[in-house]
Amino acid sequence: MKKFPLVPPLSPILPNRGGARESRPSSILSLSAEISKFRSRGRDAAKLIERRFAVASCGLDGLDLTSGEGIAAGRKAMADKKKVFVKSYGCQMNVYDSERMTEAMAASGYAASESEKDADLVILNTCHIREKATEKIYSELGRLKARKIENPSMRIAVAGCVAQAEGEEIIARQPLVDILVGPQSYHRLPELVAEADKGRKPVATEFLADEKFDRLPASTSPKKSPTAFLTVQEGCDKFCTFCVVPYTRGAEYSRPAARVLAEADRQAKRGVREITLLGQNVNAYRGEGAGGRRWGLARLILAVAEIDGIERIRYTTSHPRDMTEDLIEAHASCGKLMPYLHLPAQSGSDKVLRAMNRKHTAEQYLKIIEKLRVARPDILISGDFIVGFPGETERDFSDTLSLVGEVGYGQSYSFRYSPRPGTPAAEKKQVPPDVASERLHRLQALLKSQQIAAQESMVGRLANVLFERKGRFDGQLAGKSEHLQAVHASCDDSLMGKLAAVRIIRSEPNSLAGEMIN
Ligand code: SAM
Ligand code: SF4
């Protein structure tokens, strides 16, 4: 197996004193010598690199950060930097966007903060998919009020789908908000913060996905985790009658393949081993490829698999209508494509699927699962379900239970239908809440029993685990199996960021316990 450096060699693009970006040598000590010295004192190399960036941005490039004086200067440089804290809600695309917003602000001299406590800029990256998700934002804003009173120069930005959907209504309801920025305008954040500093309340909610991807800065600093999300497709043209996404994220847009591959390559060089390709309908990907031809997702996956350093590929979220033959075939032919697929079904009733405008039947869905299992017999299927959709009868619901019984899901997400203003289904006669809740309870009991069965079937088997964080107890690391199941094992810290074979010895409520194989 190829060796994976915990901290890859760094040749940073650092801001100079005037703010423009230029390439600089990292220090009078070579970085790797510095890291070994730092580590031999029991310190975390990531901290050294963070300080190295901070002192460089203050023009203190040559400092020895392993000396007492250097450490103090490094700490001061870190403390003097403005800080941004991004809190992410909802889907993985928001997690990806939050990282890109942090990077956009880093280019303007902001350091990332782990909490809002010492942040000069707090960004709430919001989700509008269900009512509960939206209401969470207003209660979070209520909580931030006290902090803003303590520190009036702190800026609060609402980003994401709530900003897009509710616009200035948010400022009317919560005047402490300084900036509103929709999902297609994150590249404008530094300029919006500068406007807010002049006392204005800028609002940016245009739909310009291509411009956003072109203008967001690319990350070059080493990545703390060996896994990364990479958005390849945004927006949706399908207009399911329950869903706000086509209104908040706009029309379908696929990034050109060359840009996606360049970003994947950059991530590999930062130490990433596993990439999850993201899109609201990722398998509807139709990006421009070589010679101006359109590439589908299967072609893109095969090209990402060629990148040195990338060992694992996943993709989410897929729509059953776009599960093409070549994509199913990729599960058989591409060893780096993990045996896991999240394929929302929403319902097992054809009548409800029609009312949802899903454009497929339960039988067509089952046929896709069958083909996937022929292509990759050990594939683990995950799904999304909505219960209590307008017009759903007990008979319709029992069709959903039957479909779930037939598929056997290893993981799942199930929701009570939440009427979203402006969507067609919100206008229909609603299922009484207590009926919907009782159905959800029954569905979740079945799905949970399937998840437990899938985990228990792993006991005694080998799993290849990518360790990505410390475990709950000392001496443990935790990561994910090929099937995206959480696994923890007692092992040496040196395995962090690496793939290793683990024997599964126990199934626990939401994870698997394993032991290392030598
Ligand atoms: N594009 C994916 C697809 O077509 O299946 C789904 C993406 S959507 C952002 C994520 C999930 O949220 C959906 O699969 C659905 O189960 C759930 N969802 C969306 N709108 C909802 C609503 N109004 N009420 C309850 N759940 C909802
Ligand atoms: Fe929403 Fe997915 Fe339907 Fe698009 S396909 S409208 S994102 S549920």
Indicate which ligand has the atom closest to the C-alpha of 416.
Answer: 1
C-alpha radius of gyration, the chain, whole number: 24
Instruction: Evaluate the omega torsion of the peptide bond into residue 316 and state whether it is cis, within 30 degrees of 0.
Output: no
Residue 255 · residue 232 · CB < 8 Å? yes
Write down the H helix ranges in 216-285.
245-248, 257-269
> In the structure, what pLDDT confidence band is assigned to residue 221 with cuts at 50, 70 and 90?
low
Pairing relationship of beta strands 121-126 and 110-112 according to DSSP bridges: unpaired
Spell out which residues line ligand 2, taking CB within 6 angstroms. Answer: 236, 238-240, 243, 245-246, 280-281, 319
> In the structure, what pLDDT confidence band is assigned to residue 15 with cuts at 50, 70 and 90?
very low
Say which residue the tokens 């009317």 belong to: 172
Supply the pLDDT for residue 7.
23
Mean per-residue pLDDT, 98-108 = 92
Q: Whose CA is nearest to atom 12 of ligand 1?
A: 129
Name the nearest CA neighbour of 300 among 207, 232, 381, 397.
232
Six-digit token string for 250: 């706009």
Task: Classify residue 379 as exposed, middle or buried by CB count within 10 Å of its CB (0-12, 13-18, 19+).
Answer: buried
pLDDT tens per residue across span 313-337: 999 999 999 999 999 999 999 999 9
CA of residue 13 to ligand 1 center, whole Å? 40
CA of residue 419 to ligand 1 center, whole Å? 12
pLDDT tens per residue across span 468-505: 999 999 999 999 999 999 999 999 999 999 999 999 99
Average pLDDT, the chain: 87
Supply the pLDDT for residue 312.
98
CA of residue 132 to ligand 1 center, whole Å? 14
Spell out which residues line ligand 1, taking CB within 6 angstroms. Answer: 91, 129-130, 242-243, 245, 280-281, 317, 319, 344, 346, 384, 386, 415, 417-418, 420
CB atoms within 10 A of CB 503: 15
Indicate which ligand has the atom closest to the C-alpha of 386.
Answer: 1
Three-state DSSP class for residue 463: strand
> What is the C-alpha end-to-end distance of the chain, expressed in Å?
14
Supply the pLDDT for residue 211.
66
Mean per-residue pLDDT, 138-142 = 93
Distances (CA, A) of 137 to 112, 122, 177, 192, 415: 21, 13, 11, 20, 19
Phi then psi for residue 9, to 5 deg, are -55, 140
Residue 459 · residue 507 · CB < 8 Å? yes
Sequence-distant (6+) residues with CB within 8 A of 437 are 388, 416
Six-digit token string for 460: 């005694």
> In the structure, what pLDDT confidence band is assigned to residue 157 with cuts at 50, 70 and 90?
very high
Name the nearest CA neighbour of 489 among 478, 473, 500.
478
Sequence-distant (6+) residues with CB within 8 A of 441 are none
β-bridge partners, 14: 22
CA of residue 40 to ligand 1 center, whole Å? 49
| pLDDT of 361 over the 70 cut | yes
- One-letter identity of residue 362: A
Determine the Cα–Cα distance for residues 441 and 427; give it in Å rounded to an integer.
25
pLDDT tens per residue across span 176-201: 999 999 998 998 999 999 999 999 99
Determine the Cα–Cα distance for residues 68 and 377; give it in Å rounded to an integer.
58
Buried b (16+ CB within 10 A) or exposed e, 458-480: beeeebbbbbbeebeeeebbbbb
Residue 273 · residue 4 · CB < 8 Å? yes
Q: Whose CA is nearest to atom 5 of ligand 1?
A: 344
